[in-house]
Structure 1
Amino acid sequence: MGAVLGVFSLASWVPCLCGGASCLLCSCCPNSKNSTVTRLIYAFILFLGTIVCCIMFHEGMETQLKKIPGFCDEGLKTKVADTIMDKDCDVLVRYKAVYRINFALAVFFFAFFLLMLKVKTSKDPRAAIHNGFWFFKIAAIVGIMVGSFYIPGGHFTTAWFFIGMVGAAFFILIQLVLLVDFAHSWNESWVNRMEEGNPRCWYAALLSVTSMFYILSIISVVLLYTYYTKPDGCTENKFFISFNLILCIVVSIMSIHPKIQDGRPRRAVDNEREGVQYNYSIFHLMLCSASLYIMMTLTNWYSPDANFQTMTSKWPAVWVKISSSWVCLLLYVWTLVAPLVLTGRDFS
């Protein structure tokens, strides 16, 4: 707990350095007028939470965590070589600690998601809360984090595991949508410049970058076959690598099909909307889901109530990555065929 208090006590002073005045306990930290600075501060809070989670994986932390009343009272039963052994939280206590740290972050960001609903302008009183009062925010996070370590396990652990899976899956889906959108935006930007400016230069740049990514993909596939397969085994690995390679080839062929190219819309440049520069509520929702994704990633997508043999398996994390690649390809294919299927809709 000293690590939690120490790191976040230091964090309470960092936002003050971003403002234009000194930080006083009575007046809290100065408001961050710059929206970029505000977002960086929230991201830094999430980053500090991740650092604290990593500290929990340090050797010897189990001894300190077992001193917390109620944290390990129920004990943990792990099955190793068909022998039931009481590990006294030595095996899974780190995962339980990570769950509670990210519980505090997720609760904080979700509360701000609800608080910032329908904030349309920076003149809204709630915008001042979003951009200021950093001392109280840090104090609230530390308070929730410390208090979460005294929450009994059992039903809490099970429920939070499923909430973490849903939140992390939502975060992955959003990132995949943004990735596909970024790829389309990048391509359209360079194609427009090629049509409006020096066509040879931009065509060469577009062809070079495309070729580079295909070469990197081929090298990655070769490395996957080299390090994760064997001639006489690893059937699952061979299947997934080959299957994903085939899917990528099929999608690549689809993307250059004449009908797909003819039906591809061009995006119009929208004017900046008045009011806030970004949606405060959605921003906090993304940070909430990001904290859940970090929690599930650090714990290898396992519940702290799982047995030791299951904990040593890496297949849940593998399935998450495989399914993410399939969803990403599916999203990209939909962006290609949607203009042909939904002909009455404007995709520009």
Structure 2
Amino acid sequence: METGESSNSNRNQRSEVLQDSSWYSQFRNASNPWMARYVYGFIFLVANLLAWASRDELSSLSSLIQLKELKGCKDGDKCLGPHGVLRVSMGCFLFYMIMFCSTIGTSKLNEGRDEWHSGWWLVKIVLLILVTIFPFLLPTEFIDIYGDVAHFGAGVFLLIQLVSIISFITWLTEFFGSERYAQRCQVQVMLFATGSYFICLVGIILMYIWYAPKPSCLENIFFITWTLVLLQLMTSVSLHPKVNAGILSPGLMGLYVVFLCWCALRSEPVGAECIRKSESEKTKTDWQSIISFVVAILALVVATFSTGIDSQCFQFRKSDPPAQDDVPYGYGFFHFVFATGAMYFAMLLVGWNSQPMRKWTIDVGWTSVWVRIVNEWLAVCLYLWMLIAPIIWKSRQAT
């Protein structure tokens, strides 16, 4: 008996080793599309860091003065920073757009486009280096044109991300409201929804304390108060008898809306009247600024990564069950999200207007404030439309 048990354990160990070696082989060769997405995410992170270095570090190098003069930079030393960000962003955009054009429509594993997406890394590294260098050889006028186009591309990225988040919240609500989990998870759903509303109210109170310390801060008071009104509106519509969407989805949407409002207020320049910071803090770079900057960069990469693999949120009709040889996610959509994300991180680093920004800052400026606020209002409109649209369609079909 002991001999039989030991032989069985040895076979199990050998099978685990074979599985591990197969996994290692796939990772080493990067032939697995699930492994490939992490490589693309890492490339995007490197591009973000290179853009930050171009803005905050390379502008201080005197050896690049000849490059600035060659490109006809009219703003002296300050021009390399914002334009350096746009050049890096353009290189990253070109790389992912090339990948988008070469992988769009891929549906089956082990075909040519699938192998190109998941492999050929030496060729793609050479391609990445070339497209990263290419924008630095272009005149400033071309970079200015790209900066204007990047405003539109960044808006497309925000819209895609918004639809993805609302789609996830809707899916989560339907999942816990299904027959399988409706009775089993009632208490958990109620606790989670109550916690979401509690966090929303605490966040709104803190925003009043931090960003509206005096009655003259009318703009910030309006932003915060209107966020509270939108939270109440989403809850009322969701609980309406004809909608009956429960309290979980408006609670989760409330968290997202409050977060967007906080990001908007946080983006106000340091010199703004209602930002309570001393003069010494305006020029001092402390560890909190560095940590917040690093967290913002990582959050951007994670958001782009998670949105890129969520191509199903844009499928307006139910598709057939996936076959075994179907690709696990839409390759073209994945690269398109990263391409627009390249434009988006450029806008964050230059404050949406290609102006120099203080070191270790991101997404600061009045343009950034209004972009976040409009994004918040658009999120509420899309969410309410997703609640009301089925009722409107049913009423039209009835007539």
What TM-score results when the alignment is normalised by the length of structure 2?
Answer: 0.68
Residue of structure 2 equivalent to 1:48:
46
Q: Secondary structure at the match of 2:25?
A: coil
Q: Which moved further from structure 2: 123-132 or 169-178?
A: 123-132
Q: Does the C-alpha gap of structure 1 residues 34 and 68 become closer, same or farther in structure 2, counting only changes over 3 Å?
A: farther
**Aligned partner of 2:336 among 263, 282, 285:** 285
Q: CA deviation at 1:340?
A: 0.7
Is 1:20 the counterpart of 2:22? The answer is: no
Q: Secondary structure at the match of 1:236?
A: helix
Is 1:95 the counterpart of 2:82? The answer is: yes
Unaligned runs of 5+ in 1: 1-17, 22-28, 78-87, 307-311
Q: Secondary structure at the match of 1:233?
A: coil
Distance, in Å, in 1 between the alignment partners of 2:348 and 2:181 is 45
Q: CA deviation at 1:268?
A: 8.1
Q: Is the Cα–Cα contact under 8 Å of residues 56 and 98 in structure 1 kept in the other structure? A: yes
Q: Secondary structure at the match of 1:334?
A: helix
Is 1:122 the counterpart of 2:105? The answer is: no
Unaligned runs of 5+ in 2: 1-22, 247-316, 358-362
Q: Is the Cα–Cα contact under 8 Å of residues 33 and 117 in structure 2 kept in the other structure? A: no
Residue of structure 2 equivalent to 1:255:
238
Q: Does the C-alpha gap of structure 1 residues 248 and 262 become closer, same or farther in structure 2, counting only changes over 3 Å?
A: closer
Distance, in Å, in 1 between the alignment partners of 2:245 and 2:89 is 47
> Aligned AA for 1:55?
A
Q: Does the C-alpha gap of structure 1 residues 227 and 198 become closer, same or farther in structure 2, counting only changes over 3 Å?
A: closer
Distance, in Å, in 2 between the alignment partners of 1:113 and 1:71 is 35
Q: Is the Cα–Cα contact under 8 Å of residues 171 and 286 in structure 1 kept in the other structure? A: yes
Residue of structure 2 equivalent to 1:109:
96
Distance, in Å, in 2 between the alignment partners of 1:97 and 1:262 is 48
Q: CA deviation at 1:270?
A: 5.7
Residue of structure 1 equivalent to 2:368:
317
> Aligned AA for 2:162?
L
Q: Does the C-alpha gap of structure 1 residues 245 and 20 become closer, same or farther in structure 2, counting only changes over 3 Å?
A: same
Residue of structure 2 equivalent to 1:246:
229
Q: What is the number of residues matched between the two proteins?
A: 300
Distance, in Å, in 2 between the alignment partners of 1:109 and 1:172 is 17
**Aligned partner of 2:321 among 266, 271, 274:** 271
> Aligned AA for 1:143?
L
Q: Which has the higher helix share?
A: 2
Is 1:159 the counterpart of 2:164? The answer is: no
Q: Secondary structure at the match of 2:214?
A: coil
- Provide, for residues 66-119 of structure 1, a one-character-per-residue CA deviation record: whole Å limited to 9, x for no partner: 345356653434xxxxxxxxxx22x34211111111100101111111112322
Q: Secondary structure at the match of 1:20?
A: helix
What TM-score results when the alignment is normalised by the length of structure 1?
Answer: 0.78
Percent pairwise identity: 24
Q: Does the C-alpha gap of structure 1 residues 246 and 164 become closer, same or farther in structure 2, counting only changes over 3 Å?
A: same
